[in-house]
Structure formats: C-alpha cells, structure tokens
Amino acid sequence: MAESKATLSIDGNVVADLPILSGSAGNDVIDIRTLGNYGYFTYDPGFLATASCESAITYIDGGKGILQHRGYPIDSLAKQANYLEVCYILLNGDAPTSTQYDEFVDIITNHTMVHEKLAHFFQGFLPDAHPMAMLCGVVGAMSSFYHSDLDIEDPVQRMRSAHRLIAKMPTISAMAYKYSIGQPFVYPRNELSYAENFLHMMFSVPAEEYVVSPTVARAMDRIFTLHADHEQNASTSTVRLAGSSGANPYACIAAGVASLWGPAHGGANEACLKMLEQIGTLDRVDEFVARAKDKSDSFRLMGFGHRVYKNFDPRATVMRETCHEVLKELGIKDPLLDVAMALEKVALEDPYFIEKKLYPNVDFYSGIILKAIGIPTNMFTVVFAMSRTVGWISHWDEMLGQAGQKIGRPRQNYIGEIDREFIPLNKR
C-alpha cells in the first residue's frame, strides 16, 4: 500500500506523482508503472536499481552482509538444517514439522528416477561436451515428458513440477558426469540421503561397493544449502521472465541453467579454481592482484565482487569455515587453499578492493571444497545449478501464484536510425 509519494518534475514542471511502496525490509520502491502515461521510461541497463517483482522468498542486505530465506538467517540454516529442509522452507514459506519434513523427503526420494528415454538424449553429445551444456539440453528435454497435461495455473501441479525438478536434477547431473567419463549411469538409491545419493550416482561403479563418506556428504549438503537461492539474481530473473509468458517450467529451468553458466555468475566457481591453479604459488599472488587492478587488463579476480554485497557475502563466511573443516577432516593439505587465503588477505588489504568493496563471494571457497570432495572442475557449476533449482522453481511458483501477474516486457532507449527512405536494390 502506498503511504508516501515521489514527485517527478522536469525543468521545474511537475510531471508525475509516483507512489512509494514499502516492503517488510530493505529499500522502499518507487512505483513507476504509470510513468509511460507521461511519455517517459526509466533507464536501468543491468537493473542496478530496479525491483522487478514483489517476493517473500529471500532477503539480502548487501551493506550488512545479510541473507535470509523466508526470514531464517543463512548461517543458521547452513549449520542447523539440511538441504531438503531448506527446499521445503523456500517452497512453502515456513520450517516443516517433523511429519511435514518426512513426507517431503519421501516425495523427493520417490521422484529421483528419470524416464529411461531421457537417458538417450546424452548419446547425442560429443564425449567432451561440457556438463553444463548437457544439463541445459537434458533439462530442457524434460519439457517434452511433462507438458501436454500440465496446467501451471493449478498450484498442486506447480508443486509437483517443483518436486520432480528437485528430485531429478541430481540424477541428471550425475548422468552428465558419467557420460563425460564414459562410465555407466548409476540409478538413485532410496535408502540414501539427498547428498549421499548424488555422491553415489557420481562416484559409484557397478564393479564394486561405494561407501559415501559422512564428512563428504555433510559438506555436499551444506554446499547445496549455501547455493539454494539468492533473490533476483541473473538466472532467477531469467527463469521468472521465461515463466512470465506461461512457458513450460522445465524449459524455464533450462533457461536458468544457461544463464547461471556464465563466468560472471555461477560459472565463477569453475573460473575461480582455474584462476587459483593459474596463480599456482604464493609468490605470484601480487602479480595477479595487480592485473585485476589494471584497467587495460580484462583479468578479474574470480570469486570476488558482487552486485549486491558490498560487504562479506555471508555464504562465503560459512563456506570458508566449511572449507577448513573439510580439508582438516579429510586430511587434505591443498596448496590452492594457501593461495586462496593469501589472495583473500592481499585483496582485502588492498585500497583498490577496499574502495570498490570487492569481497570474496560464494564462489570463492566453494571450488576448493568441491575439489577436495572429488568433484571435477567442469562439474562445479552443475552442482551450483542443482542447488539453485529449488530457488528458481520457488520464484517461478511465487510469480504464477500472484494475482495480476503479467508477461515481462521491458522497453528501451532507442538510439538507432529513424524514418529512412528505403531505396530498392535495383536502384541503389
């Protein structure tokens, strides 16, 4: 409900009174929906100061380094809940009772298998296809299995789509890995937890028993939780925009996978580990920090900086603790961690990074943990996409459940030619 207003005047003339809307936390927003009637658009490429929707799922305060899912702080969730509990919270709004949790786990567990025909899609990929390319293609292909009788206006059918996606993403992700290394696909096992099941599908082979390490499973589950949702980031906004036309939800999630793949977004964890490997030794850290500051050099410190966080990314803080725990429990001394710690120290003391408020983000430490638990580098963003699927589909569901939902259709500031005479080819 608008309580106050912003008055827009141009050259001293009042053009419009625009309502100011207040949420439950964060910046107030100026409702500019009527601005077009006055002959103006706003201009905000990259959406630096644009609220695209109303949402109750995730709250971020970039200045204070706050991240809450349905009001629950991320560090409490990462340390006291597990990923499926977080999925329930994101989808349904509140922490589940033990009965609700058990029912949810049962639903997800019993949807982990994929249609046998879906496995055939992998055969069309070249052996060296990037797992994210495979994930994008196969998730999109799921829209051919669940479409004709899908009514996305029905909240029950929307929730069923959400359950299927959360359940099947680990299976499809592990299949992408197995295909890339020429090993047979491994079926899910219902007696295993979500994280254990993923690790089992990734690393077990028919020739012998594979026992999942509890330490590794716990770390995997925490990584899933830390990547679950993050407000209106690029990939979530992609899913919302695709879904706003009424498109098939599986196709919308494939669009989210595509957007997340970029190195400026979810692809940063893979890029960050490659950067640490490129730096290689402590004595080269200063060289790369200098390159990151050099405007003539396109190099950026992957895993640093964030559009919203101008303070520590709270997920990076938990990820850093987890990184030390996992390496210690597994008895791994990874020189890349030493390089990462040195890079973090140098960057955080460097005036350039301090001035531009560039802190380690969620991708900075995740790559080191994923490497420690045996996930190959080209699967890092696949793990991110798996984890983020619940965030994407929660926002899709929230959007379709809101009254008056419209198709997303931004405008532009046109800078091209206008009113030109066209001369036919035979007269030019």
Q: What is the contact surface with ligand SDX in residues (CB under 6 A)? A: 230, 233-234, 264-266, 268, 292, 300-308, 356, 358, 361-363
Q: Which of 306, 313, 395, 397 is catalytic?
A: 306
* CA-to-CA separations, 319 to 46, 325, 361, 413, in angstroms, rounded: 28, 10, 9, 41
Please, what is the minimum distance in Å from the beta carbon of residue 373 to ligand SDX? 20
Please, what is the minimum distance in Å from the beta carbon of residue 364 to ligand SDX? 7
Give whichever of 168 and 306 is closer to ligand SDX, judged by the CB atom. 306
Which is nearest to 396 in space by CA: 267, 280, 256? Answer: 256
Under 8 Å between Cβ of 336 and 302 = no
Beta bridge partners of 30: 20
Please, what is the minimum distance in Å from the beta carbon of residue 41 to ligand SDX? 21
Residue nearest to ligand SDX (CB): 305
Is 283 among the catalytic positions?
no
How many CB atoms are located within 10 Å of the residue 417 CB? Answer: 6
Please, what is the minimum distance in Å from the beta carbon of residue 266 to ligand SDX? 6
Please, what is the minimum distance in Å from the beta carbon of residue 312 to ligand SDX? 12
Under 8 Å between Cβ of 171 and 122 = no
Beta bridge partners of 216: none
Three-state DSSP at 374 gives: coil
Task: Mention every residue, 6+ apart, whose C-beta is less than 8 A from residue 390.
Answer: 86, 87, 90, 91, 162, 166, 228, 229
Three-state DSSP at 13 gives: strand
Q: DSSP secondary-structure letter at 8?
A: E
DSSP 19-75: EEE--SSS--EE--TTGGGGT-----TT-TT------SSEEEETTTTEEEETTEEHH
Please, what is the minimum distance in Å from the beta carbon of residue 306 to ligand SDX? 5
Give whichever of 301 and 400 is closer to ligand SDX, judged by the CB atom. 301
> Which residue in the block uniquely carries the two structure tokens 């798996």?
386
Is 397 among the catalytic positions?
no
Give whichever of 243 and 305 is closer to ligand SDX, judged by the CB atom. 305
Please, what is the minimum distance in Å from the beta carbon of residue 118 to ligand SDX? 27
Number of separate helices (H) and strands (E) present in the chain: 17, 6
Cα 208 to the chain's mean position, in Å? 35
Please, what is the minimum distance in Å from the beta carbon of residue 265 to ligand SDX? 4
Give whichever of 170 and 266 is closer to ligand SDX, judged by the CB atom. 266
Give whichever of 141 and 166 is closer to ligand SDX, judged by the CB atom. 166
Give whichever of 196 and 231 is closer to ligand SDX, judged by the CB atom. 231
Q: Which of 229, 363, 395, 397 is catalytic?
A: 363
CA gap 315, 313 in Å, rounded: 5
Give whichever of 115 and 356 is closer to ligand SDX, judged by the CB atom. 356
Give whichever of 140 and 314 is closer to ligand SDX, judged by the CB atom. 314
Cα 406 to the chain's mean position, in Å? 24
Handedness of CA 294, 346, 314, 396 (dihedral sign): positive
Kindly list the strands in the beta sheet with 72-73, ordered across the sheet, starting from the edge strand earlier in the chain.
58-61, 66-69, 72-73
CA gap 117, 256 in Å, rounded: 23
Task: Mention every residue, 6+ apart, whose C-beta is less than 8 A from residue 229.
Answer: 57, 58, 69, 90, 236, 388, 390, 391, 394, 395
Residues designated catalytic: 306, 363
